[in-house]
Amino acid sequence: MSKLIDEIRFTQELIKKPSVTPKDYGAIKVVANHLKKLGFKCKFMSFQEKGTDKIINLYAKLGSQSPNLCFAGHTDVVPVGDLPSWTTNPFGAKIKKGFLYGRGVSDMKGGIGCFVAAVSEFLHKNKKFKGSISFLITGDEEGIAVNGTKKVVEYLKKKKEKIDFCIVGEPSNRKKLGQMIKIGRRGSITTHLTVKGKQGHIAYPFEALNPSTPLIKILDELKSKPLDKGNKNFQPSNLEITKIQINNSADNVIPARATATFNIRYNNLHTFSSLKKYILKIINKFEKKYKCKTETKFIGTGTAFLTKPNNTVKNIQKIIQKETGQKTLLSTTGGTSDARFIKDIAPCIEFGLVGNTMHQVDERSSIKDMKKLKQVYLKIIKNFFN
């Protein structure tokens, strides 16, 4: 058996790979090399849809028995942003005043490091455990997410690979380690709306058709009517208007077209199809009233889902509370993650480091938190197989 893996040194090794989506720079291999030393069989998978960049993914597994506990994560990171504002090299992995600095340390190379270290310690004392441990690691979570976890899940489905439970190592805590487990996520639907009118002189509006009028009416009705009141596990669905554009260089001309973009983060009371139908109904209502023409484009980046708090979830919650001293909430707040793909093949939760500096300048994680997270993961693994 190889020597124990240290979560801090492992994470530092990962941070030093500047794996800004879609580039990998050997980050996936760092994970695979360490897992191979622990006895894992590693399968690299590369996918590339037309017009996109090739992405390297990894599915690693130790054992062939059930149950299979999977850890999912991503080695890709967002760009560093304003480089001169960083107080350390974003890919230098420097430790300063009890914190490990680096792009991706909280989101989520640190989570990967802590889980690999926990598995290393578990295997050191449990060489013949009954079950399997697997890792699903992608390099396409921060980007368009079409050649990453989504494709790996499709492959696992075809191979009839069974995963009994999955932990996604996203930074689920906002301020303190142990505050929150994500047991689901809201869905997301973005609508790009174009209203076509007729250009004309503002002094002769009856000879033109101003597209801004129906556009404003459509947006007002969509925004002013609540979609729902939420439920036990989800907050109310929410619509936000993100863009309104009229490309008009003259002040005395009625424009020919107006566009708007809006997004709905929705709970499990809706689906992509039901919301699309609802939006089109309102658009068609004002299209008829103002005798204008419209074009719509809908983009969905994930459906609402929920992992019901079964015994596994409740046990994980108890472990986290005991180890961190926090009252650990079960939540469905926040944006999207790769759990939206994994939920098709396995129940999953998200739990990782504190994420209040993720995507920011001087992204960092507490060394104390990382050591504690390793212990939490270790207790979860022991509990799962016992």
Please say whether the structural domain 188-300 has been given the CATH code 3.30.70.360.
yes
Beta bridge partners of 189: 264, 300
For residue 280, the model assigns a pLDDT of 98
Segment (H or E) for 371? helix 367-385
Percent of the chain with pLDDT over 70: 99
Give the contacts of 68 (CB within 8 A, at least 6 positions apart). Answer: 61, 131, 132, 133, 134, 161, 162, 163, 164
For residue 340, the model assigns a pLDDT of 93
Cα distance between residue 315 and residue 300, in whole Å: 33
Token pair 């967002």: residue: 78
- CATH code assigned to 7-185+304-385: 3.40.630.10
- Give per-residue pLDDT as tens, 28-54: 999 999 999 999 999 999 999 999 999
Inter-residue contact 113 to 8 (CB < 8 Å)? yes
- Give per-residue pLDDT as tens, 159-168: 999 999 999 9
- Give per-residue pLDDT as tens, 180-217: 999 999 999 999 999 999 999 999 999 999 999 999 99
* pTM score, whole prediction: 0.89
Cα distance between residue 344 and residue 353, in whole Å: 25
For residue 2, the model assigns a pLDDT of 62
For residue 127, the model assigns a pLDDT of 87
- Give per-residue pLDDT as tens, 213-268: 999 999 999 999 999 999 999 999 999 999 999 999 999 999 999 999 999 999 99
Equal fold, 7-185+304-385 vs 188-300: no
Name the residue ranges covered by the structural domains of the chain.
Answer: 7-185+304-385, 188-300
Q: What is the mean pLDDT of residues 304-309?
A: 93
Please, which pLDDT band fits residue 68 given cuts at 50, 70 and 90? very high
Report, as residue numbers or ranges, the catalytic residues.
76, 141
Three-class DSSP category at 360:
coil
Q: What is the mean pLDDT of residues 9-25?
A: 97
